[in-house]
Amino acid sequence: MSLDVAAIREQFPILKREIDGNPLVYLDNAATTQKPQCVIDALVDYYTTCNSNVHRGAHRLADEATRHFEAARDIVKDFINAPKREEVIWTSGTTEGINIIANGLGQLLSPGDEVITTGMDHHANLVTWQQACKVSGATLKTVPVLDSGELDQSAYSALLNERTKFVAFPHVSNALGTVNPIKEMTAKAKQVGAWVLVDGAQGAAHGRVDVQDIGCDFYAFSGHKIYGPMGVGALWGKASVLANWPVWRTGGEMISTVTLQDATWNVLPYRFEAGTPNVGDAIAMGEAIRWFSALDQDAVAAHEKALLDHATELAERFEGLTIIGQAKEKIGVLSFVLDHGHPADIGFLLDRQGIAVRTGDHCAQPLMARFNVPGTARASFSVYNTLEEVDALFAALKKVRTMLA
Ligand code: PLP
């Protein structure tokens, strides 16, 4: 079945915008996706009908807010096939989810222990582990990236040993679009008894996730990259691991008992949810996942592949353009440089023609250094993009190259 892209576009009011008289062509979906009307409505409904603090109120609004908030947790649980709802922790996004685990890890590691991350990680999944290693005296190792934009799997295997305590890698590279073999990588890490965290910021936005099938211990993702609001996300962790993981943020809600000198912690998931949660956005994130899950996932994948294939074909024929990242398994991300002009200039001149792409290092400075580029221009596709928009990108890019030459 193919995707009814026109009907999908109708649900995104922002796509009707014009930029300097040009129709908006939004190709910056890896940075954040746009929101369908039902997600906007869910947020407005929450604030117009039942805004209240959850779990502690003895009144109707608190009751309703708690019910919607916890129902959204169930939607996340089902979407990632988590075995238990208490394994789903609300966060402010992928970054916070990773920080929760990294902070606890810093307390569990000792000098001599090793942590492995990769040369393609977003800073959120790199600087965090650097810090955990710094505070604990553990050593950070890196899986190198091949010219294709894939991780060097034999180098990864060689890095794993009995000192490896933790491995973190991205499901999908935000800068290159590479889809990593996360199940195989997890299985290898498990052979040496390491904990595994998958950074799912880009993975969750492109199809259902099955954390049980992956076999990892932790999976973190953000609402705003999957048609939901900013400022909310989810961290999943195996109950048996989370139950003993050191807490990071302390305060209200995450405690069980408190005396003037000491405190005991609440049960999962609340022991990792200190303070008032982002209730309205969590509910709207649930609505976003419900909306996305209702789409035919095979059709979504086929549509995004068609966009990427078309863009890649045009890019390969485009004079002076070099694609950065040509992995066999990719989501709809085309990262590139031109022979003339800095990526920032490309972005600026595309914007003047209504085309929104991302330029820069994509929070992956070591990866840019690996490919010896100052940054790239990145077009990233989503369910509402069309082949005509890909054509518009390359028509505009032609003008850009003439201007920059
Ligand atoms: N990891 C990857 C691969 C990302 O692409 C991003 C954001 O672009 C993040 C982590 C951080 O996500 P957030 O800023 O939503 O916390």
Whether residues 206 and 108 fall in one domain: yes
Q: Can you give the three-state secondary structure of the chain, one letter per residue?
A: CCCCHHHHHHCCHHHHCEECCEECEECECCCCCCCCHHHHHHHHHHHHHHCCCCCCCCCHHHHHHHHHHHHHHHHHHHHCCCCCHHHEEEECCHHHHHHHHHHHHHHHCCCCCEEEEECCCCHHHCHHHHHHHHHHCCEEEEECECCCCCECHHHHHHHCCCCEEEEEEECECCCCCEECCHHHHHHHHHHCCCEEEEECCCCHHHCCCCHHHHCCCEEEEEHHHCCCCCCCEEEEECHHHHCCCCCCCCCCCCEEEECCCCEEECCCCHHHCCCCCCHHHHHHHHHHHHHHHCCCHHHHHHHHHHHHHHHHHHHHHCCCEEECCCCCCECCEEEEEECCCCHHHHHHHHHCCCEECEEECCCCHHHHHHCCCCCEEEEECCCCCCHHHHHHHHHHHHHHHHHHC
Interatomic CA distance for residues 213 and 376, integer angstroms? 34
The rounded mean pLDDT for the chain is 97
Closest-CA residue, ligand 1 atom 12, reads: 94
Interatomic CA distance for residues 120 and 179, integer angstroms? 11
CB 191 within 8 A of CB 161: no
Q: How close is the Cα of 261 to the center of ligand 1, in Å?
A: 38
Distances (CA, A) of 346 to 19, 22, 352, 394: 16, 17, 10, 12
Pick the last residue of a domain from 274, 293, 312.
Answer: 293
pLDDT for 339 beyond 80 = yes
What value does the mean pLDDT take over residues 178-195? 98
Query: What CATH number corresponds to the domain at position 357?
Result: 3.90.1150.10
pLDDT (tens digit per residue) in 274-288: 999 999 999 999 999
Whether residues 209 and 70 fall in one domain: yes
CB 195 within 8 A of CB 184: no
**Sign for the pseudo-dihedral over CA of 176, 167, 115, 248:** positive
Q: Give the domain range for residue 53.
A: 41-293
Q: How close is the Cα of 95 to the center of ligand 1, in Å?
A: 6
Which residue of the set 50, 133, 216, 363 is catalytic? 363
Whether residues 246 and 200 fall in one domain: yes
Does residue 34 sit within a domain? Answer: no
Whether residues 85 and 148 fall in one domain: yes
Whether residues 158 and 301 fall in one domain: no
Whether residues 47 and 147 fall in one domain: yes
pLDDT (tens digit per residue) in 342-361: 999 999 999 999 999 999 99
Total number of domains in the chain: 2
Residue with tokens 């008289």: 21
Whether residues 155 and 302 fall in one domain: no
What value does the mean pLDDT take over residues 324-331? 97
Closest-CA residue, ligand 1 atom 5, reads: 174
pLDDT for 57 beyond 80 = no
pLDDT for 56 beyond 90 = no
In ligand 1, the atom with minimum distance to the C-alpha of 233 is 15
Interatomic CA distance for residues 367 and 373, integer angstroms? 9
In ligand 1, the atom with minimum distance to the C-alpha of 32 is 8
Token output for 13: 């009011």
Q: How close is the Cα of 190 to the center of ligand 1, in Å?
A: 25
Pick the last residue of a domain from 224, 258, 293.
Answer: 293
Token output for 52: 């209240």
Whether residues 73 and 206 fall in one domain: yes
What value does the mean pLDDT take over residues 45-67? 94
Q: How close is the Cα of 30 to the center of ligand 1, in Å?
A: 9
Does residue 29 sit within a domain? Answer: no
Interatomic CA distance for residues 174 and 176, integer angstroms? 6
Reported confidence tier of residue 1, pLDDT bands at 50, 70, 90: low
Closest-CA residue, ligand 1 atom 14, reads: 95
Q: How close is the Cα of 385 to the center of ligand 1, in Å?
A: 21
In ligand 1, the atom with minimum distance to the C-alpha of 225 is 15
In ligand 1, the atom with minimum distance to the C-alpha of 95 is 16
CB atoms within 10 A of CB 109: 20
What value does the mean pLDDT take over residues 212-238? 98
Whether residues 47 and 58 fall in one domain: yes
Closest-CA residue, ligand 1 atom 4, reads: 201
For residue 224, which phi and psi values (nearest 5 degrees)? -70, -15
| Distance, first Cα to last Cα, the chain | 44
Residue 139, amino acid: T
Reported confidence tier of residue 253, pLDDT bands at 50, 70, 90: very high
- Using CB distances shorter than 6 Å, the residues near ligand 1 are 93-95, 122, 124-125, 170, 174, 199, 201-202, 222
Best of 90, 121, 172, 174 for a ligand 1 pocket test (most atoms within 8 Å of beta carbon): 174
Best of 123, 202, 230, 331 for a ligand 1 pocket test (most atoms within 8 Å of beta carbon): 202
Whether residues 135 and 67 fall in one domain: yes
Query: How do 164-170 and 114-118 pair as beta strands?
Result: parallel
Distances (CA, A) of 370 to 113, 119, 123, 290: 26, 8, 15, 38
What value does the mean pLDDT take over residues 325-342? 96
What value does the mean pLDDT take over residues 234-249? 97
- 363 catalytic? Reply is yes
In ligand 1, the atom with minimum distance to the C-alpha of 170 is 3
CB 172 within 8 A of CB 193: no
Q: How close is the Cα of 199 to the center of ligand 1, in Å?
A: 8
Whether residues 214 and 301 fall in one domain: no
Q: How close is the Cα of 259 to the center of ligand 1, in Å?
A: 38
What value does the mean pLDDT take over residues 245-259? 96
pLDDT for 208 beyond 90 = no
Does residue 25 sit within a domain? Answer: no
Interatomic CA distance for residues 97 and 75, integer angstroms? 18
